[in-house]
Amino acid sequence: MSPKSVKAKIGPSVLNADLSQLYTESQRLMDCGADYLHLDVMDGNFVPNLTFGHPVVKCLRNKITDAFFETHMMVDKPEMWIEGMADARVDQYTFHTEPVSDVLGVCRKVKEAGMKVGLAIKPKTPVETLVKYMDQADLILIMTVEPGFGGQKFMADMMPKVKWLRENYPGMDIEVDGGVGPSTIQACAEAGANMIVAGTAVVQSDNPQNVIETLRSTVAGAIVKCAS
Ligand SMILES: O=C(CO)[C@@H](O)[C@H](O)COP(=O)(O)O
């Protein structure tokens, strides 16, 4: 870990929240100490589920003006939604590399649209496939479940990917997503993840503030330990 350049940040996913109350739920998570919001966009093709797209994200942005928005694009054609998400004032556009033939081209368009670039890979995708894109990425998302649904079991066998990334790209923001909560955060922190997406563990807790704080302090502790 490169403690000077990476920070522990917690980005709750609203996927398993009451989506009829998207604004209230999102604001509640920010009020509970979230560092950013992780918004799961699914197209029913790349994953067997559907959520929402840029019109909904724009409505949310009009109500929550000051939070950092990351959209996790679980879609076959991420190039299609860049303009809409930029117009919705999304901060970080994280897309899966698997279905994309011109990853560098999509990275360029995301940057030109004024957003940060996140590159995501599914559990079966080798981490080394990302090497040729690392110069263009602001964040790497290592999925710790098969994308598509919240509430799945954390895949601890993804931690070597995180560790490899941290060793080879010490200053990179490395995010984990899927089954992350108080019982699995230690493994993520020790491997070197600094950006933590947590859905069910936060949204369905009686004390989301406490869960967010536990996740952040565990990751921050690992960063400090690495520095000493
Ligand atoms: O991208 C996804 C699922 O595809 C995630 O963001 C999950 O929605 C996180 O939820 P939990 O696994 O933490 O419940």
Q: Are 80 and 126 in contact (CB under 8 A)?
A: no
Query: What's the first-to-final CA gap in the chain, in angstroms?
Result: 11
Q: Say which of 18, 40, 66, 173 is annotated catalytic.
A: 40
The pLDDT-based confidence of 3 (bands split at 50, 70, 90) is low
Quick check: 173 pLDDT over 80?
A: yes
- The pLDDT, as a whole number, for residue 46 is 98
Per-residue model confidence (pLDDT) at position 227: 73
Whether 70 has a pLDDT exceeding 90, the answer reads yes
Percent of the chain at pLDDT above 70? Answer: 98
The pair of structure tokens assigned to 194 is 């600094």
Distance separating alpha carbons of residues 198 and 83, to the nearest angstrom: 27
For residue 102, pLDDT beyond 70: yes
Arithmetic mean of pLDDT, 156-179 = 98
Q: Please tell me if the CB atom of residue 144 comes closer than 6 angstroms to any atom of ligand 1.
A: no
Query: Is residue 94 within 8 Å of 75, Cβ to Cβ?
Result: no
For residue 206, indicate whether it is catalytic. Answer: no
Entry pTM: 0.97
Please check if 40 is assigned to a binding site.
Answer: yes
* CA 200 to chain CA centroid, nearest Å: 14
Atom index in ligand 1 nearest the CA of residue 147 equals 4
CA 23 to chain centre: 19
d(CA 73, CA 133): 17
Whether 194 has a pLDDT exceeding 80, the answer reads: yes
Strand duo 116-121 + 92-96: pairing: parallel
Predicted pLDDT at 202: 98
pLDDT at 1 over 60: no
Q: Is 178 in the pocket of ligand 1 (CB under 6 A)?
A: yes
pLDDT digits (tens, 9 = 90+) for 45-68: 999 999 999 999 999 999 999 999
Whole-number Å distance between alpha carbons of 128 and 119? 13
Q: What pLDDT does 4 receive?
A: 53
DSSP 8-state symbol, 152: P
Distance 154 CA to ligand 1 centre (A): 10
ipTM value: 0.98
The answer to whether residue 2 scores a pLDDT higher than 60 is no
Is 177 labeled as ligand-binding?
A: yes
